[in-house]
Structure 1
Amino acid sequence: MRIAGVSLEDSFLRISITDKKIGIIKPVKSEDIKLPVSEQERSLAIRETFRKLKEEYKAGNVVIGLNLSNFSHNFIDLPSLSKADMRNAILFELEKYLPLPPEEYIYDFSVIEKMQNKMRTLVLSIRKDRVNELLTVVRDSGLGLAGIRCSFIEALNEFIASDNIKDAVFIYAAEASYYLAALKGQRPVLFKTVPKGKSAAAELEGLAASAGGDIYISGHPDPEVLNKLNAKTLALSPANAIALSALKKSKVEMNFMPAGLLPEKKDYYPYAIAAMTALAVVIFFFTEIYSYYKDYAALHAVEKKIEQIKSAASGPLETRKKMETIYEKRKLLHEFQGKRNLNIKALTELSRFLPKDTWLVSMSVDEKGKVDIEGFAKRASGIIEPLSKSKFFKKVEFVSPIISQDGQERFSIRMEIAG
């Protein structure tokens, strides 16, 4: 498999072509292409380069890397959740950080640190229209798109993999800016973009001093910055790091390719989930329909038997005893029908009235209609009032003291189903 890594910078297109055969990764060719200043000529040059990758260099797929300036980046703390729940929770959190609605972006995330009941997550977002521009260029060239990545993140991954470094400051000098990452125990804790200029050296020195650890720099730094920082220089190629990102796992794994558009690494997982969901829905409705007709048939049989007993009873006393027994069975069946899906109804009502910053960890409903819930919220005292407004619940009250934990309040509430 031959893959091309392309780092799209301000005025250069940096290319690295890599082969992978029988598990062996081998670099084939590297090239830097100067881009014209004119936007129209620049677009034509990029298209011509992608055509060349396909026709002359025989690359099958391409991974495109973009500068960190193309992305919004945020560190977000979340409760311990599954990956699917995290993706949904992050979508809501991004509304606080992005200038446009989150639906206008493609985002990916990486769990940086797991703490007690909490996870620190690095989230990067890129505008969809920027991704769509690149998709059009790749499709027109005939190449397969294996991913859209952040060049600085992939260079950082190569730096982390290159040595057993714990605490350090990594700086990549691009054409117009310096991109800085502070690492603690190989975990990124800070990202910063510093424009090149007279004050860059002093600003980088201050950031590096506050972060602590040895300083490493790669790319094309100004001599003043090298002298000021006393940094160790590294020869890292973002284009090569981008190509390798499609062939191996990284410390900070992020890909901003829309789901379903990877040509050779097609992900069937969403299709399997969709099929299983559809099957679950069918089974659910079939079970409900089957249960309804089963209960209906049972009730019909009971009522038919009542009529038979009435007509065939030999005496009033015997008839009365048999009828009382059958009426009791019918009553139980009616009660069974009435209590079906009580858990689902209670959970639906909780979803409507609980504050948005509330997470439930458990819920139980007993046969008498008592509902117990436990969970976390930023302000647990604000939960009682909205639940009391629900016509579905009554006697809403705390059953244990509120416990503060990692900026959240743990609560335990009991209520009864009204009616």
Structure 2
Amino acid sequence: MSYILEIRILRNCVRFRVAGKGLRGAGTVEENELQTVFSERNREVIVGTLNDMKEKYRLRHAEVYLPFFMCLSNILDLPFTKKTDIGDALVFQLEDVLPLPLEEYVYDFNIIAKDRTSSKVLALCVRKDIVTDISDMIASAGLTVASVRCGFMGDLSAVYGGRKKQSFLFVNIEAGDIYMAVVRGGTCIALKHPGNADRLGSEIESIRDIHDIRDVFLTGDVTDSIRTDTGVSSINVQDGARRIIINSPFVFEFLKPGTGFNYRYSFWRFAAVAAAVSAIMIIAGYFIPVYRDYSALNNVNTRIMDIKKEASGLITKRKELDMAVKRLKFLRGKQARRTLDLNIMSEISRILPKDAWVISFNVDEKGFIELKGFSDNPSEVVEKLEQSKMFRNVGFSAPIIKAGGNTRYSVKMELET
């Protein structure tokens, strides 16, 4: 039997789980918890533990589950369009909400709801250096990182797998951290992080009343006192469920494309699959000639019906596509205009004298800029602006006014193309 290692990183500890990948499925073989923070200063202890488990079970691959506090999550409303176009539009949205440049993050997203005009997108981001450091530490133990995912979202996917289109409150408790997901009609509408476990019962009741939700699922480190306080029984995520759930809007992969791998199955599993395929081919070879003519006729009739539906809905689809393209162009234009304004203001702030103040700043679509403010020496303001490579045709647009000990200036110029 072959095995795979699951590494679940928490705030103050690391949990290791060895799962079997034999014919009987992905059952737990061994679980271990290391009471230390997953960081570079504890590298020797962590790598030593990984080496011991690797030698014991002849491990080759490891799956990593990050804590939710390491991830930044955003639920965004975007125009309805193809997933590839949504990915382009998402770049501009994430640049506005992330504290660091987008290049510093690895992110993944899923469409969690959509209608004719809009899509609701759930995006998860994690700092790139975190993924790199974790992968390097695991690689130093001679293991290949199979995937890097969010542990909270993995458990949510396992619960969601059998409850699509349903409404429920999902609560995950691990190492003192509490995270909640409000799912209504199969769509995640809110993510919460309550800070106080003592008030978890009242928090759950409040969410149930607000969103009219009956089902509540508790997972993770659920104590008897928490069960008593909340009045809810806990459930265990089935072994291997995080890995086998694929068709879920809560599966997020932080490894770059092309760095994953396909599991290598044992000879007996391969032989069983080959035997099943051979049997299917023999049966198909016997029945296909009998139903060939019937299937061909049925396919022709089905194709005729499909063509009729496509022809009747062609105009509607064209209008929807045009609307999506217009919305996407609007988003890109808005982002470009915002970037230009920031660049101009940054240049003005850099070159203006220290005694100069700006009280008004305006840029029109043709690149004409009007600047108003106060300065002890307005001529120096014009001189500094003329020296910049970004502006041209700099000059006063109104007489210099002195009032109350202040000198007010008004300058107009053009953006250098």
Q: Which runs of 4+ in 1 moved over 4 A?
A: 37-41, 162-165, 239-245, 359-363, 386-390
Tell me, what secondary structure is at the counterpart of 2:113?
strand
| Greater C-alpha Rg | 1
Determine if contact 1:176/1:196 at 8 Å carries over to the other structure. Answer: no
Cα 1:227/1:387, change in 2 over 3 Å: same
> 1:203, 1:44 → 2: CA distance?
41
Aligned to 2:193: 193
Aligned to 1:125: 125
> How do residues 141-160 of structure 1 correspond to structure 2 at under 5 angstroms?
141-160=141-160
Cα 1:44/1:242, change in 2 over 3 Å: farther
Determine if contact 1:11/1:34 at 8 Å carries over to the other structure. Answer: no
Cα 1:244/1:144, change in 2 over 3 Å: farther
Is there any run of 5+ residues in structure 1 with no aligned partner, and where? 266-358, 364-372, 391-419
> 1:234, 1:135 → 2: CA distance?
31
Aligned to 1:255: 253
> 1:3, 1:40 → 2: CA distance?
23
Aligned length: 279
2:6 partner amino acid: G
> 1:85, 1:374 → 2: CA distance?
9
Is there any run of 5+ residues in structure 2 with no aligned partner, and where? 264-318, 335-362, 368-417
Aligned to 1:326: none
What do you get for the CA RMSD once the two structures are aligned? 3.4
Aligned to 1:17: 18
1:12 partner amino acid: C
> 2:174, 2:65 → 1: CA distance?
13
1:101 partner amino acid: P
Determine if contact 1:65/1:149 at 8 Å carries over to the other structure. Answer: yes
> How do residues 238-387 of structure 1 correspond to structure 2 at under 5 angstroms?
240-244=240-244, 248-264=246-262, 375-376=326-327
Q: Deviations over 1:177-230 (max 9, x none)?
A: 211111112222211111244444433432343233221211223555433432
Determine if contact 1:144/1:264 at 8 Å carries over to the other structure. Answer: no
> 1:30, 1:186 → 2: CA distance?
34
* TM superposition shift of 1:98: 0.9
Determine if contact 2:200/2:230 at 8 Å carries over to the other structure. Answer: no
* TM superposition shift of 1:153: 0.5
Q: Deviations over 1:144-195 (max 9, x none)?
A: 1111000010101111224567111010111122111111122222111112
Determine if contact 1:78/1:121 at 8 Å carries over to the other structure. Answer: yes
* TM superposition shift of 1:138: 1.9
Aligned to 1:236: 237
Greater shift in the superposed pair: 78-87 or 115-124: 78-87
> 2:165, 2:111 → 1: CA distance?
19
Aligned to 1:67: 67
Aligned to 2:56: 56
Tell me, what secondary structure is at the counterpart of 1:78?
strand
Tell me, what secondary structure is at the counterpart of 2:21?
strand
> How do residues 24-63 of structure 1 correspond to structure 2 at under 5 angstroms?
25-36=25-36, 42-63=42-63
Determine if contact 1:4/1:243 at 8 Å carries over to the other structure. Answer: no
> How do residues 59-138 of structure 1 correspond to structure 2 at under 5 angstroms?
59-138=59-138
Aligned to 2:228: 227
* TM superposition shift of 1:89: 1.4
Cα 1:19/1:389, change in 2 over 3 Å: same
Q: Percent identity?
A: 22
* TM superposition shift of 1:249: 4.6
Cα 1:211/1:6, change in 2 over 3 Å: farther
* TM superposition shift of 1:105: 0.5
> 2:193, 2:226 → 1: CA distance?
15
Aligned to 1:334: none
Greater shift in the superposed pair: 188-197 or 131-140: 188-197
> 1:374, 1:36 → 2: CA distance?
50
* TM superposition shift of 1:140: 0.8
Cα 1:119/1:58, change in 2 over 3 Å: same
Aligned to 2:410: none
TM-score (norm 2): 0.59
TM-score (norm 1): 0.59
Determine if contact 2:14/2:38 at 8 Å carries over to the other structure. Answer: no
